Amino acid sequence: MPDNLIFGIEVFLNGLMAGVLYALVALGFVLIYKASGIFNYAQGVMALFAAATLVGIMNGQVPFSHLINAMFGSEVHHFGWHLPAILGILLTAGFMVLLAWFVQKFVFKHLVGQEPIILFMATIGLAYFLEGISDLMWGSEIKNLDVGLPQGASIWLEDNTRWMGFGNENFYGFFIDKLDMFATVIAAVLVLALVVFSQYSKQGRAMRAVADDHQAALSVGINLNFIWVMVWSLAGFVALVAGIMWGTKSGVQFSLSLIALKALPVLMLGGFTSIPGAIVGGLIIGVGEKLFEFAVGPMVGGATENWFAYVLALIFLVFRPQGLFGEKIIERV
């Protein structure tokens, strides 16, 4: 088998794995947009905040320790415990529910009926607020996140795909990160759970009713405040999962909040209102940018991964602005 074909297949598989991680972030956008029509610019920062909170809870770090020590001249940094990963994740999930209640109670409850641009600007403000609070609570240094997820190359996969080289001495089997494979399984389970929840549960049907018409949902007794807190909580859980995956891969740092920018072209391809669309869009972006870098990158000086997704999204905006799975845009004049 030719070398280019072998390495092209490996690049394709790694693109699928990267696409799953993009899709995890895009899922949070879709959940909030479906229920409230709000484009949540703060979704990436929520992933950063969740990951930093998880590290702080697991390590027994005192929140706001830098501020406390500066005010009182103390040297308090840790409580002295180290919690297991599963307990830390559960406590962080509870903290994200509390954050969802706070956001609804003190921000969006007072913006009901406002123009979409006002709500979007509110999420920008929320993003910077969460970023500042995260630094204030847990510090701004790069943190190592270890919840016991498998990492490194899969030796089993390399050994069992080496035959595909047909004696090629330069091919040692496909190199796929264990963390990426684990993230793929988690994303599949998460998407299935969200689809089942939205289609078959009472709360899921209420969420879809709110998405269709707020006033009609109110008229049949649906509690809008509860639905929006639930939706922001679900988005927080998705942000926590994405934060764990990305934080384990590259450390918990400021750049984690920028993954939201890569989720934008994913949403433009898949559609802002489709959960399966977020997954398909993520896979297209992940595979597309890897294959484009592999095939075309050397001809144009490389670094095509930085802009390929946005150019592809721009093309989709011109010919199919609602995305592959989005609802058709109908304007009445």
Over the chain (333 residues), the average pLDDT of each successive run of 10 is 72 85 83 80 90 93 88 84 92 94 88 81 92 90 87 75 66 75 83 82 81 73 84 90 86 78 86 84 90 86 84 88 71 49
If you write DSSP's letter for every residue of 160-220 in order, what string do you get? HHGGGGTT-TT------BHHHHHHHHHHHHHHHHHHHHHHHSHHHHHHHHHHH-HHHHHHT
**Tokens describing residue 104:** 């609804």
Q: What is the pLDDT of residue 2?
A: 63
Residue-by-residue DSSP string for 11-41: HHHHHHHHHHHHHHHHHHHHHHHHHH----T
Are the C-beta atoms of residues 157 and 287 closer than 8 Å to each other? no
CA distance 164 to 145: 35
pLDDT at residue number 169: 64
pLDDT of residue 164: 67
Q: What is the pTM of this model?
A: 0.85
Cβ 269 vs Cβ 284: under 8 Å: yes
User: What pLDDT does 130 receive?
Assistant: 92
For residues 89 and 87, what is the distance between their CA atoms, to the nearest angstrom?
5
Write down the architecture of domain 3-319 according to CATH.
Orthogonal Bundle (1.10)
pLDDT at residue 207 in the model: 80
Phi-psi label, residue 60: left if phi above 0, alpha if psi -120 to 50, beta otherwise: left
| The two structure tokens encoding residue 161 | 């795909």
pLDDT value, residue 172? 66
Average pLDDT of every residue of the chain? 83
Q: Which residues contact 116 (CB under 8 A, 6 or more apart)?
A: 37, 38, 39
Domain locations in the chain as residue ranges: 3-319
User: Which letter does DSSP use for residue 326 in this model?
Assistant: S
Q: What is the pLDDT of residue 133?
A: 92
How far is 183 from 20, CA to CA, in rounded Å?
7
DSSP annotation of 78: B
